[in-house]
Amino acid sequence: MREEEIKRKRTESRLVELIPEALSSMNDNRINGLSVTEVVCSKGRYDAKVYLDKSYLDEKEQGEALKQLRAVSGFLSTYVRESEGWFKSPKFTFEFDGQLEEISKMEALFKEIAKRHQKNDAIKDEGKSDES
């Protein structure tokens, strides 16, 4: 890894910790309990895409939360700058992360495949014992 990549990863890691901390200090129930799953900074660290866990929010609540997050992004930038002593903070954009749902769907599919495989093996074993 090059030095610039290391700095970007360090910034991303720190933002994953700071953003939920800042959100939890707010009095808005729509956003103070949101979990950050990942932060991806641009190459120059001027922009940061913040991915949020959507597991317990419906579509309407997600829209309201995104709207509120856009409204408080200035507060988040100030919080991050002051907490870390940075001269500037990245511009935040927010998006709900569907990756966790995809992972759980894949895990369910793998379990189903394993069950079918075990069932087929049991049927084959029964067939062999009948032939003996």
pLDDT in tens, 2-12: 888 888 899 88
> Could you confirm whether domain 3-97 is CATH 3.40.50.300?
no
pLDDT of 18: 92
Q: What percentage of the chain carries pLDDT values higher than 90?
A: 21
pLDDT of 15: 92
* CB-neighbour burial class of residue 132 (10 A; exposed 0-12, middle 13-18, buried 19+): exposed
3-state secondary structure of 34: coil
Judged against a pLDDT cut of 80, whether residue 91 lies above it is answered with: yes
Beta bridge partners of 48: 41, 92
Judged against a pLDDT cut of 80, whether residue 101 lies above it is answered with: no
What confidence category does residue 127 fall into, taking pLDDT thresholds of 50, 70 and 90? low
pLDDT of 96: 87
Q: Which of 22, 5, 15, 58 is nearest to 37 (CA)?
A: 15
Contact assessment for residue 17 and residue 83, using Cβ atoms and an 8 Å cutoff: no
Mean pLDDT for 65-86 is 90
Average pLDDT of the chain?
84
Q: Which of 30, 39, 11, 33 is nearest to 20 (CA)?
A: 33
3-state secondary structure of 95: strand
What confidence category does residue 100 fall into, taking pLDDT thresholds of 50, 70 and 90? low
Judged against a pLDDT cut of 70, whether residue 130 lies above it is answered with: no
Contact assessment for residue 49 and residue 93, using Cβ atoms and an 8 Å cutoff: yes
Mean pLDDT for 33-62 is 85
Q: For the chain, what is the radius of gyration of the CA atoms?
A: 23
* CB-neighbour burial class of residue 39 (10 A; exposed 0-12, middle 13-18, buried 19+): buried
What are the residue boundaries of the structural domains of the chain, listed by start? Answer: 3-97, 99-132
Contact assessment for residue 15 and residue 41, using Cβ atoms and an 8 Å cutoff: yes
